[in-house]
Amino acid sequence: MNNSENTRSGTGELPAGRPLQTDFETGLDYPRLGSVTFRRGTLTDNQEALFNEHWPRLGKVLAEGSDERIDIDGWFGRAGHPTIVEIGSGTGTSTAAMAPLEADTNVVAVELYKPGLAKLLGAVVRGGIDNIRMVRGDGVEVLARMFGEESLDGVRIFFPDPWPKARHHKRRIIQSGTLNLIATRLKPGGVLHVATDHADYAEWIDELVNVEPMLEYKGWPWDEAPMLTDRQVITKFEGKGLDKDHVIREYLWEKK
């Protein structure tokens, strides 16, 4: 990583321009970012100060052209603990609420939106939560380039963007290729947990539950799951869904 990349990473800034996308060459379907414009938000002065002080310790940025694997034990300062990656952590409401319930587990929250990461970072610092770290970047690219094969005990995707228009379905994160990528990153016995309150997206996922041969679909609930699956908290998006009487669907898979 060169000096400019170090500077960007230290301040949580993404490289300019369209992000690089891995060509997986598997023949499977992957979400494509295309010309998506990511929301830009500003931080309050307090958020900015807190972010600048703590991000170098708690956060990393997906570097362009780099396949730098994360040293989990070194980053968390402890060895031998299970590790879960949450893709699309948003403002981190559920991330921060769940982490104290699974203090033995390392949680890596992946999100593109800096103000969301800033809110989570604030909750981590104020709450003295020591088992959360953050990565700014696209979830698929982070999994592909920053984590090795069979390195994770769990992957969570809670209330992903449903991309409701048919022409945007190719941007949905739940695709055959993503499920394959997740399977390669999970240890045997590792768990994938997905939740959505969008009926059309649930139908989309229903069609894919058995598409990846390395993942055994366990349905919901799965009482013997080796990680916390009862979220016990209502995320902001889930709360909105409940307010609209949406049905929340949960999905669990186990790596064979």
Residue 244 assigned ligand-binding role: no
Residue 187 assigned ligand-binding role: no
Amino acid code (one letter) for 183: A
Residue 236 assigned ligand-binding role: yes
From the candidates 29, 130, 161, 230, give the one annotated as an active-site residue.
161
DSSP state of 204: H
Rounded distance between C-alpha atoms, residue 29 and residue 148, angstroms = 21
Residue 237 assigned ligand-binding role: yes
Please, are residues 199 and 193 in contact by the beta-carbon 8 Å criterion? no
What phi and psi, each to the nearest 5 degrees, are found at residue 238?
-65, -40
Rounded distance between C-alpha atoms, residue 29 and residue 22, angstroms = 12
Residue 197 assigned ligand-binding role: yes
Residue 86 assigned ligand-binding role: yes
Residue 238 assigned ligand-binding role: yes
Long-range contacts of 122-130 (CB under 8 A, 24+ apart): 122/47, 122/50, 123/92, 123/96, 124/54, 124/58, 124/92, 124/96, 125/50, 125/54, 127/96, 127/100, 129/96, 129/99, 129/100
Residue 206 assigned ligand-binding role: no
Please confirm, yes or no, whether 161 is among the known catalytic residues. Answer: yes
Rounded distance between C-alpha atoms, residue 155 and residue 107, angstroms = 10
DSSP state of 178: H
Positions marked catalytic: 161
Q: Binding site residues, as ranges?
A: 86, 111, 138, 161, 165, 197, 235-238
Q: Binding site residues for S-adenosyl-L-methionine, as ranges?
A: 86, 111, 138, 161
Q: Binding site residues for substrate, as ranges?
A: 165, 197, 235-238
